[in-house]
Amino acid sequence: MGSLTSEQIAQFEEDGCLLVRGLFNPEDDLDPIIEEYKSVLDSLASELYAKGEISSTHDDLPFGDRLIKVYQESGKVHAQYFDFSLPQADVKPDTPFWAGPSVFAAMRNEKLLDAVESLIGSEIYSNPVQHVRLKPPEHLTPKNEQGLVQLGKSPVHQDNGVVTPDADETQMLTVWFPLTRATVKHGCLVVWPGSHRKGLLDHCPTDIGLGIPGKLLGGSKAVPMPMERGDVLFMQKLTVHASFSNNSDEVRWSFDLRYNPTGQPTGRSSFPGFVARSRQHPETELSDAAAWEGLWRNTRDHLATVEMGKFNRWDKENPVCA
C-alpha cells in the first residue's frame, strides 16, 4: 500500500534521499517523546548530584538548558544515557540506555511505516542501527582530552559503511527526523544527492568517527537539509551525508532509525531488531514496548559476558586513508 506518491518514490530513487514535510504531527507524535525524556534527564541529574559531580539537579530549567548545564558541570556528554542502542564496545551490566514506550511508539508510528512501506515493501523490520542525538551547542559542550567537542559534527559517511559486510545486499532504509528545529545553524544534515550511485566508498577512522576521504567524493556538491518539527528525511544506505556543527544556542535533538525488509541481515547481528509491520503475518509484529525493552536488557546482559566482535570493516592502514 504505502503513502508516498510515484513522484516521491522516483525522486528517492534518483537522488538517494527524500524529504517529506509535515509527515508527523509534532504535538501528537513528537511531544510524548520529549515528555518521556524529561524523566531520563531527571534520573541522570539525580545520579550525578548524588555523586557530587554537579552542584544541583537544575530541575528549575527547561529541558534543553538543563541538559546543557548538566553536561557542562559534569564535564561530560552523557549520550549513552539517552540512547536506545548499546555501544559497539565495552558493554557492561550497568551500561545505560533508554528504550522507553514513547520511543517504541515512534518506531511503530503508522504514518511513518506507511511511508517506509512505499520504499521497501510491507514486510518491515526495525533494524537495530538506531540512535537519538541530543547535540548541544558546540560553544557550550565539554571537550575531550584531545580538545575536541565531545558531540559535534558527524563525519561524511554512508550508513552502509558503518555496518558489517553481511548487510551489503540488504535494502536498508535510513529515517532521520528532528524533535526540535534543525536549521543549518543548529547543525542539520547535509546530503550528496545521487551519491548512492557511486557504490560503497572507503571509510577511514577519524577522531569523530568513520568518514569518507574528501578525494573520493569527486567534487560533488553537498545540499543542506534544514528541517522543522514533523519533517522526515529518508535516505538510501549508500547516500553520502554528514551533519554540521551546532552553532546555535539550543540543543539539536533528532532520531535516526533504520528499517529493512524482514529476513535480510541488519549489519549489526549482536543487537535486537523486531518486526514493525507485516501484511502477510501480522501476528509476528512486536507491539509490546516492555518486550522490546527486555530484548535490549537481555542483549546487554549477554554482551557484558562475551568478547564483542568487530562492528565495521575499515582499517586505518588502508592506503586511501594516508
Q: What is the pLDDT of residue 246?
A: 95
Task: Read off the pLDDT of each residue in 72-85 and give the average, rounded to a whole number.
Answer: 96
Say whether pLDDT at 209 is over 90.
Answer: no
The answer to whether residues 127 and 259 touch, using CB atoms and an 8 Å cutoff, is yes
What pLDDT, in 10s, does the model give residues 138-166? 998 888 877 777 788 899 999 999 999 99
Residue 243 to residue 220: CA distance in whole angstroms: 16
Max CA distance (Å), the chain: 57
The CA distance from 161 to 222, in Å, is 18
Whether the CB-CB separation of 24 and 233 falls below 8 Å is answered with: no
CA distance 259 to 130: 9
Q: Which domains are assigned to the chain?
A: 15-306 (2.60.120.620)
Query: What are the pLDDT digits (tens) for 182-197?
Result: 999 999 999 999 999 9
How far apart CA 277 and CA 109 sit, in angstroms, is: 10
pLDDT in tens, 96-120: 999 999 999 999 999 999 999 999 9
Determine the pLDDT at residue 52: 97
Q: Is the pTM of this model over 0.75?
A: yes
